[in-house]
A and B are shown apart, each in its own frame.
Chain A
Amino acid sequence: GDSVTQMEGPVTLSEEAFLTINCTYTATGYPSLFWYVQYPGEGLQLLLKATKADDKGSNKGFEATYRKETTSFHLEKGSVQVSDSAVYFCALSPNTGNQFYFGTGTSLTVIP
């Protein structure tokens, strides 16, 4: 069935370091892919999305490219800030059915 696998955390980085959080998926056809961010004590917020192969989603300095050949949607940011400390979820919406699949989340802590 459809699923999302993302890199386990926690991840701790120094401010201005480069961030990569890996996400791979299993699905038939061409699902839509998303990254969500959850700050402490809050709900999930959509960070970025991509709806077809080779699309690049971007927002707030974060980027992710939909790679059909490797079934991946890795999240990257060139220079993280303390304010980026949060939990990041990769998610998938299949092209059939009504459900929505989330990864288990990756906790990121950025230290000054």
Chain B
Amino acid sequence: NAGVTQTPKFRILKIGQSMTLQCTQDMNHNYMYWYRQDPGMGLKLIYYSVGAGITDKGEVPNGYNVSRSTTEDFPLRLELAAPSQTSVYFCASRSGPFQPQHFGDGTRLSIL
């Protein structure tokens, strides 16, 4: 059982480039989340989704976009990378309210 899988694990981007961080889960969870974690800091919610076709903004959505066309996948798109987006990005999923979140191993992104 793979759980939540994030790719790539590491990436270096130049300012202004675009990329998509992939997240897929095999637990048939309806709820999925994207967080960023800056060094030595806690988690900040970027976007979340409660099912295919439904997404909503979190605390820090600016500079990011998401889509949810299937239950399994929840990609995060950076359109114009900026140094302030250097961070570790975590994807998480859960089956529903009151349930714990399950996390991927993260994508470590540096923008230079």
Answer whether residue A3 sits at the interface, using C-beta atoms and an 8 A cutoff.
no
Answer whether residue B74 sits at the interface, using C-beta atoms and an 8 A cutoff.
no
Answer whether residue B29 sits at the interface, using C-beta atoms and an 8 A cutoff.
no
Contact residues in A for B102 (Cβ distance below 8 Å): 46
Residues A43 and B31 in contact, CB atoms below 8 Å apart? no
Q: How many A-B Cβ pairs are below 8 Å?
A: 53
Residues A43 and B98 in contact, CB atoms below 8 Å apart? no
Residues A34 and B98 in contact, CB atoms below 8 Å apart? no
Cα separation A91 to B98 with both chains bound (whole Å): 11
Contact residues in B for A100 (Cβ distance below 8 Å): 33, 45, 94, 101
Tell me which of A31, A43, A103 contacts B105 (CB under 8 A). A43
Residues B42 and A44 in contact, CB atoms below 8 Å apart? no
Contact residues in B for A34 (Cβ distance below 8 Å): 100
Contact residues in A for B56 (Cβ distance below 8 Å): 98
Residues A102 and B99 in contact, CB atoms below 8 Å apart? no
Cα separation A45 to B98 with both chains bound (whole Å): 17
Answer whether residue A99 sits at the interface, using C-beta atoms and an 8 A cutoff.
yes
Smallest distance from the beta carbon of A37 to chain B beta carbons, Å? Answer: 11
Residues B45 and A99 in contact, CB atoms below 8 Å apart? yes
Smallest distance from the beta carbon of A74 to chain B beta carbons, Å? Answer: 18
Answer whether residue B53 sits at the interface, using C-beta atoms and an 8 A cutoff.
no
Q: Which residue of B lies closest to A107 (CB)?
A: B40
Q: Which of B65-112 contact A (CB under 8 A)?
A: 90, 92, 94, 97-106
Residues A102 and B43 in contact, CB atoms below 8 Å apart? yes
